[in-house]
Amino acid sequence: MQIRDIKVLPTFVGRRNQLIVKVETDEGIHGWGESGLSSRELAVAEAIKHFREFMLGKDPLNIAGLWQEMYRSNYFEGGRVLAAAISAIDIALHDVKGKALGVPVYQLLGGKQRDWIPLFATTAAPMGPKLIEDTRLLLSEGWNVIRTWMHAPDEGDAHGRRVFEPRESIGPTATWLTRLREEVGNGPVIGIDYHHRLTVAEAASFCQRMPSGTLDFLEEPIRDETPEAYEALRRMVDVPFAIGEEFASKWQFLPYIERDITQFARIDVCNVGGLTEAMKVAGWCEAHYVDLMPHNPLGPICVAASAHLCAAVNNVAWMEIRSSPTEELGFYDQELFPVQCRQEGPRLWVPDGPGLGVELNEELAARQQFQMPRTVHLRRRDGSITNS
């Protein structure tokens, strides 16, 4: 079997673009992959075209060797754009191999350790009564792990630019999360995503405004480029961290795992280097008693790849899903993806058919053209840029 073509299909689904990759073989078997790096899809698409030039004619079943060739055979290796491109191709190659052998992808990863994947839901309700209302709704429908969003009023400055003041956010957020914990008790798992919008000092102040035990996890409170900054924060707060959705290799995970900085690995198979790299990180995490909490904000291909990863490893806490009673973003269009994973509330059933267990309606995808993303550029009141 040989790779005949690698196609890039950028398409708009729900509220965002999905960059889908199709690997075709000379035996008529095809595989689907998806890249991460949202809002930078066109850069990833061009990187995939570079890889395509030397992958045509190669054996698609030799996944590990092809991964190394994509990563190591060019100078200036690594980085988020290249890793996202490798991720999409690697996932598609696993789909091809599973179909060729007639087995689900999890069998290629060592076999299935669970029948279904535990999921967590997200509420983007503003800090206030709606937050408690949303949480009660989720709890009533069986969701026991709930991620919230920060206090982030939608306001602009005199120039019409979006404003976010971190110090103004932490007080109301801490107040309402404390109240939320009082309302729902100690049973539910409650976390928050701060989307790396804080500094070390701001994140410490935020945590110190709440009683110990209010939060079960704090996701991405600060930027991740400097592990020492996270270590400083770790010394000041007792909340478990969930870090890693932006990491583009095992090497980026290295200090966070080896130095006990993170307690949940927010691994993204569409960013980290695909299933090949994700399995290495998962084993490393297991050795350090770190659970996976996969980042899964994309489409059904990312969902399926993440599900097979979670099925094949033991150390999984919960997987992100963007479909719940409080969040329906349209990413899992059934007409566009006529075959995809089956979700029942906070459970995702692991596909048992050959390959990933997802298929795309290419004709419809071609009509849902890529839309240039309108990225949010947040500013403080003084006009300076802050993290988005």
Strand partners, 292: 265, 316
SS3 (DSSP) at 70: helix
Check whether 371 has a pLDDT greater than 80.
yes
**Predicted local confidence at residue 154, as pLDDT:** 77
**CA–CA gap between residue 319 and residue 300 (Å, rounded):** 13
DSSP 358: -
**CA–CA gap between residue 64 and residue 313 (Å, rounded):** 18
Q: pLDDT per residue over 64-108, tens digit each?
A: 999 999 999 988 889 999 999 999 999 999 999 999 999 999 999
Q: Which of 184, 179, 247 is nearest to 210 (CA)?
A: 179
**Predicted local confidence at residue 158, as pLDDT:** 73
| Helical H segments across the chain, by residue range | 41-55, 63-72, 80-101, 105-108, 129-140, 166-184, 200-208, 227-236, 250-258, 274-287, 300-312, 362-367
Strand partners, 242: 219, 264
Q: In the structure encoding, which two tokens stand for residue 167, read together?
A: 């110090």
Reported as a pLDDT band with limits 50, 70 and 90, residue 333 is very high
Segments making up each domain of the chain, as ranges: 3-104, 107-352
The rounded percent of the chain whose pLDDT value lies above 70 is 100
**Predicted local confidence at residue 49, as pLDDT:** 96
**Predicted local confidence at residue 133, as pLDDT:** 98
**Predicted local confidence at residue 96, as pLDDT:** 98
Check whether 157 has a pLDDT greater than 80.
no
Reported as a pLDDT band with limits 50, 70 and 90, residue 161 is confident
- Number of other residues whose CB lies within 10 A of the CB of residue 103: 16
Q: Which of 130, 157, 223 is nearest to 378 (CA)?
A: 157
**Predicted local confidence at residue 75, as pLDDT:** 87
Element (H, E) at 264: strand 264-265
Reported as a pLDDT band with limits 50, 70 and 90, residue 166 is very high
Q: pLDDT per residue over 22-43, tens digit each?
A: 999 999 999 999 999 999 999 9
Check whether 178 has a pLDDT greater than 90.
yes
Mean per-residue pLDDT, 150-163: 84
Query: 3-104 is classed in which CATH architecture?
Result: 2-Layer Sandwich (3.30)
**Predicted local confidence at residue 196, as pLDDT:** 97
| For helices 129-140 and 166-184, angle between their N-to-C axes, nearest 10 degrees | 40
**CA–CA gap between residue 368 and residue 331 (Å, rounded):** 13
Q: pLDDT per residue over 334-362, tens digit each?
A: 999 999 999 999 999 999 999 999 999 99
Check whether 160 has a pLDDT greater than 80.
no
CATH number 3.40.50.720 given to 107-352:
no
Q: pLDDT per residue over 283-308, tens digit each?
A: 999 999 999 999 999 999 999 999 99
